[in-house]
Amino acid sequence: MSKTRARASRYRRAVLGLAAAATAAVLLAQPDARAASRSADPFGERRHQHATNVEKKDLIKMSENKASPGSAEMVAAKTLTTKVLAIGTWTAKATPQTIPAVMPSEAYDTMRLMLAGKIDQWFAKNDGSGAVFLMNVTDSAEAHTLLEKLPLGQADMMTFQLIPVGPLWPLGLLVPAK
C-alpha cells in the first residue's frame, strides 16, 4: 500500500471514529432524546447500534495504535484537562416558591465567577431543568468548591455533574507523518 493510500485510509478511519464518538456522546448525554427518537424513527435504534459498533472498534484501534503520527501528543492530550463541564440539575428543594428568593444573589455571584475568568460560558438547559457551565478550571475539585459556594449550592437547590474535558486527541491521527 502506498504512503498516500495508507494516509488516506488512516484519515478515513479517524474521521469515522470522530463522527461515531460525537454521535455516541450526544446520544448518551440525552437519554430522553434518544428514547423519543427511537419511538419517532423505527430505524433510529439500528443507526445507533451501528455508530456504537464503529465507535468501539475504531476508538480501540486508535488508542492501541502507538506508532501513529503525533502519538506522543495524543497520549499527552488524553490526560490533559483544560476545562470542566458542569451540568447542573435542580434538587427537590428547588421549588417555584423557593427559587425566586435565591436567584438575584445567584445571578450576581455567577457573574462574579464569569468576570473572574472561572466560568467561560454558561447556558440554561432548554427543558428548564438546570444550568450548564463551561469552566476555566483544570480540576473537578476546584469546580465543585466554586459551585458549592454559589447561593443555589449553599441552599442545596442544585447539584452538578462535573466532567473534565481536554483536547480532542484523536485529531492527532490527522497529522501527517514527518
Q: Tens of pLDDT along 77-95? A: 777 889 999 999 999 999 9
Predicted pLDDT of residue 170: 76
Predicted pLDDT of residue 55: 45
CA 107 to CA 3: how far, in whole Å?
Answer: 56
Predicted pLDDT of residue 1: 55
Q: What percent of the chain has pLDDT over 70?
A: 56
For residues 39-43, give the mean pLDDT: 42
CA 152 to CA 100: how far, in whole Å?
Answer: 11
**CA 62 → CA 5, 21, 22, 114, 137, distances in Å?**
18, 12, 15, 36, 28
pLDDT, tens digit, for every residue of 125-171?
999 999 999 999 999 999 999 999 999 999 999 999 999 998 887 77
Main-chain dihedrals φ then ψ at residue 26, nearest 5 degrees:
-65, -45
Dihedral, CA of residue 74, residue 79, residue 83 and residue 85, to nearest 10: 100
pLDDT, tens digit, for every residue of 42-76?
444 443 333 334 444 444 444 454 445 556 766 77
Q: For residue 75, what is the enclosing H or E element?
A: helix 71-79
